[in-house]
Amino acid sequence: MSDNRYSRQIALPEIGVAGQAKIAAARVLVLGCGALGSIQAELLARAGVGHIRIVDRDIPEWSNLPRQFLYDENDVRERIPKAVACAYKLRAINTQIEIEEHVKDVTPANIEGFLQGVDVVLDGVDNFETRYLINDACVKANIPWVYAGVQGTRVLAMPVIPTYGACLQCVFPEAPVSGSVPTCEISGVINTVPALAATLQVSQVLRILIDGSASVAQNAKLMMIDPWCSVVQAMSITKNPECPCCHDHKFSFLDSKIFSRQALLCGRKSVQVTPAEPSDWDLGTLAGRLHELGKVTMRKEVLEFEVEGYRLMIFKDGRTVVHGTPDFAKARSLVSKYIGN
């Protein structure tokens, strides 16, 4: 193995030998491995982050390939879960680091477990509800995280540094009403925008690891960049002294009071249905039961079931992604009819 792998980073005064050692000792959690998370994870691996924990609930689709850089056509054809495909490719990129993958949804029941032992968290999810859940969990655990959102040609990004700086709810007090914000399926997105967002996020992560949370919080900004229109804005963010999350420590999303069990997936006509309690299904047994009712295909950690013109992707943890409808009631009905949860 060449000794100069990180020489260009070490040459930077901002990093140096000591900074690279901090990067190598770091543990980073990437929540979501789509357009943002797949690029985040690759940048972290190439930078030499010592341990990367990846969590994603989904499988790659053809429409993902223009902007989700780690995946290829074979991953789509074979229905390889994103977390599995991502981890496999990261291990080929850098054998010096540890990769830990989880084919799971991020929920109030498991997020605190995923946070165990990590230094910083990256937001790679595709909905506001989960971002507010991340905010709750990270504020409670006093772990910094980096938010980003993309829409059309615009990027928003900012670091959230509990104790020292504003949290997500300080800046955006109310989560948007479901359906009120256009998804990438409706408004579209170019592939440079998620790449830019992930670059901004990972840059902040490396700063947090090297300079420390307090230092980053001193000049934390909400960045808005539109590369198509050549617009760059940096807005100061301040703590809300009446914030229910970081001031009052009321964690509504983490406490499951308003966290839904169905989610419309970004970018396609699909709904995810999650059981009320975590499960560990025997997919082989389930495949045998469904075989007489429709077309069944076993994939890696996923059971694919086609019936009534819909495609159900069933995961070991009990989640089912229903492709072919954006209607929650229809998706719930199909899951109840054929699976029973």
pLDDT in tens, 237-249: 999 999 999 999 9
User: Does the structure show a pLDDT above 80 at 309?
Assistant: yes
Can you tell me whether residue 93 is helix, strand or coil? helix
d(CA 260, CA 288): 30
Question: What is the percent of the chain where pLDDT is above 90?
Answer: 64
**Averaged pLDDT, 177-184:** 50
Note the pLDDT of residue 316. Answer: 85
Do strands 310-315 and 320-323 pair parallel, antiparallel, or not at all (unpaired)?
antiparallel
In three-state secondary structure terms, 165 is coil
Strands 310-315 and 51-56: unpaired
pLDDT of residue 264: 61
Say what the pLDDT of residue 180 is: 43
- Single out the residue of 315, 308, 228, 211 nearest to residue 272, CA to CA: 315
User: Which residues are annotated as catalytic?
Assistant: 184
Q: How far is CA 116 from the centre of its chain?
A: 17
Q: What is the mean pLDDT of residues 185-198?
A: 83
Query: Regarding beta strands 231-236 and 221-226, do their DSSP bridges make them parallel or antiparallel, or are they unpaired?
Result: antiparallel
Q: Which helix (H) or strand (E) covers residue 141, if one does?
A: helix 128-141
Which whole-number Å values give the CA distances from 223 to 133, 148, 200, 207, 269, in the listed order?
A: 21, 9, 9, 16, 30
pLDDT at site 82? 93
Output the pTM of the full model: 0.81
Q: What is the pLDDT of residues 64-83, one digit of tens each?
A: 899 998 999 999 999 899 99
Q: For the chain, state the CA radius of gyration.
A: 20
Of the candidates 6, 216, 46, which has an alpha carbon nearest to the alpha carbon of residue 119? Answer: 216
pLDDT in tens, 87-138: 999 999 999 999 999 998 888 989 999 999 999 999 999 778 889 999 999 9
Instruction: Calculate mean pLDDT across residues 326-335.
Output: 78
Q: Which amino acid is at 180?
A: S
Residue 183: the pLDDT is: 55
Average pLDDT over residues 287-299: 88
Q: Which domains does the chain have, with CATH numbers?
A: 7-236 (3.40.50.720), 269-338 (3.30.310)
**178 pLDDT band (50/70/90 cuts)?**
very low
Give the amino acid at 251: F
Query: Is the confidence at residue 260, as pLDDT, over 60?
Result: no
**Distance (Å, whole) CA 315 – CA 42:** 25
3-state secondary structure of 128: helix
Torsion-angle region of 24 (φ positive above 0: left; ψ -120 to 50: alpha; else: beta):
alpha
